[in-house]
Amino acid sequence: MKIINASDNFQKATWLDTDFPTLIVDNFIDNQEGEKLTRDGKIFIKSEAKNNTVVHGGRILIPFSSDKFKRLTKISKSWNNFYKIFKVRSLKLFLKELDNVKNLSEISKTSIDELKLISLKDTEEYKLLNKLNLKLLEKKYNNLLEKKIGSIPPSKLFSVSTIRLFDNYWRKLKSLIQYVFGEKPILPLFDYSFSSNGYGREIHRDSDNRLIVVLLYLNNLGESTSGGDLEIHKLKKSKRKHNLYSPQPKKNDCELQYVIKPKRGRLIMFINQYNSYHAVSEMINDEEGRHFLYGGFTYPSSLFVNSKRLSRSKLKTEMFLY
């Protein structure tokens, strides 16, 4: 097991020695930009305390396409400028560095070949309200569309469910047409997240539709903080076929390969394939919080998922969040 500390410096993009292609680079954003994004994010999260959605024990999640994130970009020039270029810049870097990957498995080679066919699309293309330009409905329901069913007021539940249903059918129809004509559309599905005490993630791989996973740290953790590290795992015993790999293996069946400490400006990207196992250690004694961007480049439909990269496990992307 290798520990990558905040004091370590990856000035050049570097591929880690993992079972799946994993890229790390420091200073993807400079300290000044990271400080501005963190400062404005802190203020915004505090002002939105009543509307914050908390997941995984202590993580506030704000999808880029949500009404809440749009409010953040209106009051923060730093966020408005940054999010517009982040998606394209990160993808370009990853694709550029693919020529430098070594010791690839056959399935990783298949994953990389898949990357060469993708076409970056806008998430708004797959939203029916946006397509029909129904501004009144957008204004009335948009702040509810990214919420889970249990947190939607009963009086709005039918309307929100209906909109989601039509959005879902529109996305499937559009995806089917693109599939028939040989397109490989990929969507940049990202969120701005803030985590604190209690936050952690079990060992898992990401949803079936996701092709590239992206993580960018916006701040450094406090000296007293324990946990909040990205952990990269592999199975102790490899399986005969890749479709036998569980999306969420048991901890006792895994071996820890890397522990990557959060650091402002540190970018980590990897291909989501059958064995892309990662986790987050539980945060304890935290004072600063962990500000980060998470998400990745994701197919709008399972039609585009290459069965050679991973087996379809019904591990779905919650598209309504985006």
Task: List the single range of 101-110, 221-230, 280-289, 307-316 with lowest mean pLDDT.
Answer: 307-316
Q: What is the pLDDT of residue 37?
A: 97
Gap between the Cα atoms of 234 and 57, Å rounded: 24
Beta-bridge mates of residue 279: 231
| CB contact at 8 A, 289 and 52 | no
Question: Is residue 307 pLDDT above 90, yes or no?
Answer: no
Amino acid at 130: N
Q: What is the pLDDT of residue 150?
A: 53
| CB contact at 8 A, 226 and 285 | yes
Q: Residue 142's pLDDT band (boundaries 50, 70, 90)?
A: low
Q: What is the pLDDT of residue 300?
A: 92
Q: What is the pLDDT of residue 257?
A: 96
Q: What is the pLDDT of residue 171?
A: 85
Q: What is the pLDDT of residue 314?
A: 67
Question: pLDDT > 90: what percent of the chain?
Answer: 53
Gap between the Cα atoms of 129 and 134, Å rounded: 5
**Per-residue DSSP letter, 48:** T
Let me know if 46 is exposed, middle or buried by CB neighbors in 10 A (0-12, 13-18, 19+).
exposed
Q: What is the pLDDT of residue 309?
A: 81
CATH topology of domain 2-118+184-310: Jelly Rolls (2.60.120)
Residue with more model confidence, 71 or 125: 71
- pTM for the complete prediction? 0.88
Is the alpha carbon torsion for 27, 31, 37, 43 positive or negative? positive
Phi/psi for 19 (5° steps) reads -75, -10
Q: What is the pLDDT of residue 277?
A: 96
Tens of pLDDT, residue by residue over 166-185, are: 778 888 888 999 999 999 99
Gap between the Cα atoms of 262 and 217, Å rounded: 6
Q: What is the pLDDT of residue 124?
A: 74
Range 68-72 average pLDDT:
91
Q: 2-4 and 254-260 as β-strands: parallel, antiparallel, unpaired?
A: parallel
Q: Residue 156's pLDDT band (boundaries 50, 70, 90)?
A: low
- 3 state SS of 244: helix
Where are the alpha helices (H) located in 24-117, listed in sequence order? Answer: 31-47, 67-75, 77-97, 106-115
Q: What is the pLDDT of residue 136?
A: 43
Assigned token pair, 76 = 């923060």
